Amino acid sequence: MYHASRMKKTQIDFSYAFAEPHRICVCLPESSNKTLFDCTKESLMMLWSDSNTKNNPLGAYKRVRLDWKVKITAKCNDVAMEAFCWERIDGYIPSLLYKAQADGTLLTIQCVATELGDVLNISVANTTDMDKKVYLDACVLDNTINTKWVDFDCKYSVVNPIFNDASDRIVIMDASINGTVPSRREAVTYAYSLKAGETANNILIRPNKKYNDDIDVLLGTDWNTLCEQGLNAWKDIIRKAPVFDLPDQLIENAYKACLCDIFVMREEQADGRIAGLAGTEMYRSANTGEPCFQSLALSKYGFFEQAKENIEFVAQFQIENGSWEDDKQWGKYMWSTSGWKSLCVKQYYLRTGDKEFLKENFERMLRSAKWSKEQRDKTKQKNSPDSPYWGLMPRGMGDCGLKDNDDLFGVFYPHNFLHCMGLETAVWAAKELNRDDVYAMLLADYLDYKGCILKSLEEGHIKEQDGSIWIGGSAYNKSGSRWGVADAVYPSNILSVNHPLAVGTMNKLQSNISTGGLPKNLGWIPDGLWVAIALDAMAYVNILSDKADISADYLVSALNHGTPLFTWCEERTEEKGAKKITGDLQHAWTPICITQFVRDMLISDHLFNDDMLHITCAVPRYFYEEGNLIEVKDAPTFWGKISFRIQISEETITFTTDLKAFDKSKKLCIYLRLPDKNAKVSLASTSGGSLIITGQKAVIEPTDNKVNIVFNINKSH
């Protein structure tokens, strides 16, 4: 239940959600049985496939086609019931609560995945003092037949296929004995005659591959208990995660929903491994990108086993010549995939200390580095030293909207940035593992590559008439998507945050902001939005540039561009209720970015690269309003787990932290992001550590397991 004190301060209202239908995938964690629910005012659609990713070639993009569609509609006294609400159960669980009404009658459908299939708990309530007649139809949009249509006296209401499957396969069925003859042969129908104030309930089920011989067992199943178990499977995931108690319940629900959706978009592959997916329908496949991004998020939340599984899946794809790119997978010719893999390995190791895992993957990094040098040597031979292509990776595929004029292939900067990051990680790993035999070679190759990129940027950047300079998707390229150019600063470390090209590029990226507050031209759609990318590298570069307010605003805007189900399409146009959308209706990248950003705005151990833990560095400033509480419990970091509590009153901020499982040799940097940016803070009292205050920031040196600091708030006038 939402707390009124929190809700009045939220800035999330989903005001820029794209047009209906709004989709959610309902399933158990990491299940191959996934059902999509599409919500509109007029109907609820249930869609699923009998296939799954175990039938896909490893790492390939192969769409899992939908086999079945069921449309649910209802009428009260012949007036169509119209939905007015759809949301997740408990605000975050991958399940659905769908509500519709007409003529004083309320319809509520709860959709929950269980081990035997999907359960739709249907409740119809007459809230008036007059009798009402309600009809609900669940109609299979295919060549099927209900047993009661053939035989009106049949006690079962079960829909079987005529084509496309065995004729005794159960597609949907009433979970009780229902005397109502269906309104049409493909439907299960519920007819209610409700007296004043009366409520009626039924259960509709979509079993996982069950047949008519199973009907009696299904009728005798305790579906309510199974639903409770299904919901608890998701609650268990949140219980295993660190606790984030936030002043805005909708943001708290958002990160929980997005964390759960990482487990929605994980599934067994053809080789038996569990891997991450890029979406729930169109992109229900395991590539390299989203599994890597999932891994980064999962390790930050302490789900190390799942993070490792994702890395192991993508890491296995290395061919004999040493290429660690997607030579046989989805992202062929992109050149960025070895960088993503390497970054995941590094962050996983820093959080777990698993040296054997690092050693195994360092050998892959080493072979990849040797192959990479061979490719770059070829571009040195083909181009003169003053060419922007000299020493870079050869022509590759753009994707993400990157084009060289109208050509999907070219020498693209973002993929070179990320590929170079892979070499930098190999250098770090060699040093970490004391591999002196190859360290000097790797360092020389990395510095050479970085030098070639810097030289190319000096030649190939765009210079405007006002003297500003910025990086295009490729050399001299002003057009098309600018996806990934911020990666030059983070995570690739090619440019410092204050480099003129970094400053100019961020200014360019953020010079064209949508009406809903997000940067445009980051993907395929001209002047369109790729919501995820605002919270990807761009948000982190803003934080490094001491512009965290922009990043915090992007979080709010990103959530407002999602649906009330906390789902996002891949790309869209900017207007409210955008009808032009592309990609998957439940794309993976945005929830991954939400999951990562919420954690990193509260605690960041990797962003500043200064061996210090940064606390609340980018939370929205209204989090620090009077009366609010920010609490984190048992959050894993590079240096152990940390718990802390921040209580804001009218005149003080009280910060307490428990460091018994944290390396106390590491400093803490807390950002006191008051709504009044000009307010000053001063020290009222401290125990367990010393500190230095600068503006609204304090650096703390712990001396004890318990640190308690009270700050005075000196408001500006």
CATH code at position 636: 2.60.420
Quick: pLDDT tens for 496-522.
Answer: 999 999 999 999 999 999 999 999 999
Given a contact cutoff of 8 angstroms between Cβ atoms, the answer to whether 699 and 669 are in contact is: yes
Same domain, 495 and 619: no
Mean pLDDT of 683-690: 96
Kindly report, residue by residue over 56-95, the tens digit of the pLDDT: 999 999 999 999 999 999 999 999 999 999 999 999 999 9
**What are the distances in angstroms from CA 52 to CA 33, 68, 294?**
8, 14, 20
Sign of CA dihedral 581, 586, 588, 594: positive
Quote the CA–CA distance of 98 and 565 in Å, as a whole number. Answer: 11
pLDDT of residue 620: 98
pLDDT over 60 (residue 8): no
Average pLDDT over residues 40-61: 96
Q: Tens of pLDDT along 285-332?
A: 999 999 999 999 999 999 999 999 999 999 999 999 999 999 999 999
What range defines the domain where residue 672 resides? 612-714
Has residue 264 got a pLDDT over 80? yes
Closest CA to 142 of 156, 114, 172, 162: 162
* Domain co-membership, 497 together with 619: no
Cα angle: 432, vertex 435, 440; to 5 degrees = 100
Q: Would you say 628 and 247 are in contact if contact means Cβ atoms under 8 Å apart?
A: yes
Tens digit of each residue's pLDDT (9 = 90 or more) over 517-536: 999 999 999 999 999 999 99
Residues 85 and 205 in one domain: yes
Same domain, 501 and 616: no
* Residues 223 and 361 placed together within one structural domain of the fold: no
pLDDT band at 3 (very low <50, low <70, confident <90, very high): very low
Please give the structure tokens belonging to residue 535: 């919270």
Do 43 and 190 lie in a common domain?
yes
pTM confidence score: 0.96
Task: Please check whether residues 33 and 181 belong to one and the same domain.
Answer: yes
Spatial CA neighbour of 540 closest among 562, 565, 509: 509
455-468: per-residue pLDDT in tens? 999 999 999 999 99
Q: Is residue 369 part of a domain?
A: yes
- Residue 15 domain flag: no
Residue at 569 is within a domain: no
The pLDDT, as a whole number, for residue 6 is 41
**pLDDT at residue 2 tops 80:** no
| Torsion sign, CA atoms 557, 613, 340, 336 | positive
Q: At what angle do helices 304-315 and 337-352 cross, to 10 degrees?
A: 150
Residue 703 and residue 689 in contact, taking contact as beta carbons nearer than 8 Å: yes
Question: Is residue 397 classed as helix, strand or coil in its secondary structure?
Answer: strand
Q: Is the pLDDT of residue 5 over 50?
A: no
- How far apart CA 147 and CA 186 sit, in angstroms, is 9
Q: What is the Cα–Cα distance from 680 to 695, expressed in whole angstroms? A: 6
Same domain, residue pair 56 and 203: yes
Question: Do residues 364 and 485 share a domain?
Answer: yes
The domain boundary residue, chosen from 446, 478, 505: 505
Q: Are residues 163 and 29 in the same domain?
A: yes
Across-strand partners of 50? Answer: none
Domain membership of residue 581 (yes or no) is: no
The string of pLDDT tens digits covering residues 404-455 is 988 999 999 999 999 999 999 999 999 999 999 999 999 999 999 999 999 9
Boundary of a domain, candidates 178, 202, 235: 235
Nearest by Cα to 706 from 662, 661, 653, 657: 657
Q: How many folded domains does the chain comprise?
A: 3
| 66/206 same-domain check | yes
What does residue 571 show for φ and ψ, rounded to 5 degrees? Answer: -135, 160
Q: How confident is the model at residue 113 (pLDDT cuts 50, 70, 90)?
A: very high
The answer to whether 513 and 519 have CB atoms below 8 angstroms apart is yes
Domain final residue, candidates 505, 540, 558: 505
Average pLDDT over residues 546-562: 98
- HEC profile of 101-168: EECCEEEEEEEEEECCEEEEEEEEEECCCCCEEEEEEEEECCCEEEHHHHCCCCCCCEEEECCCCCCC
Question: What pLDDT does 370 receive?
Answer: 98
| 51 phi and psi angles, rounded to 5 deg | -95, 180
**pLDDT band at residue 717 under the 50/70/90 scheme:** low
> Among candidates 353, 254, 308, 244, which has minimal Cα distance to 642?
244
Contact (CB, 8 A) for 632 and 688? no
User: DSSP character for 622?
Assistant: G
Question: Has residue 309 been placed in a domain?
Answer: no
Identify which of 686, 676, 561, 546 has the alpha carbon closest to the alpha carbon of residue 624: 676
Mean pLDDT over 37-65 rounds to: 95
Domain presence at residue 577: no
619, 647, 663, 624: which is closest to 709 by C-alpha?
Answer: 647
What percent of the chain lies above the pLDDT cut of 70? Answer: 99
617/497 same-domain check: no
Residue 650 located in a structural domain: yes
416, 402 Cβ separation under 8 angstroms: no
Residue 385, domain member (yes or no)? yes
Please report, for the domain that includes residue 37, its CATH number.
2.70.98
Give the chain's mean pLDDT.
96
Supply the DSSP string of 159-197, one letter for each residue. Answer: EEESSSS-TTB-SEEESS---PPPSSTTEEEEEEEE-TT
Residues 609, 613, 618, 622: what is their CA dihedral angle, to the nearest 10 degrees?
-170
Closest alpha carbon to 121 in 176, 79, 76, 71: 176
CA 164 to chain CA mean position, Å: 34
Q: What is the pLDDT of residue 9?
A: 80
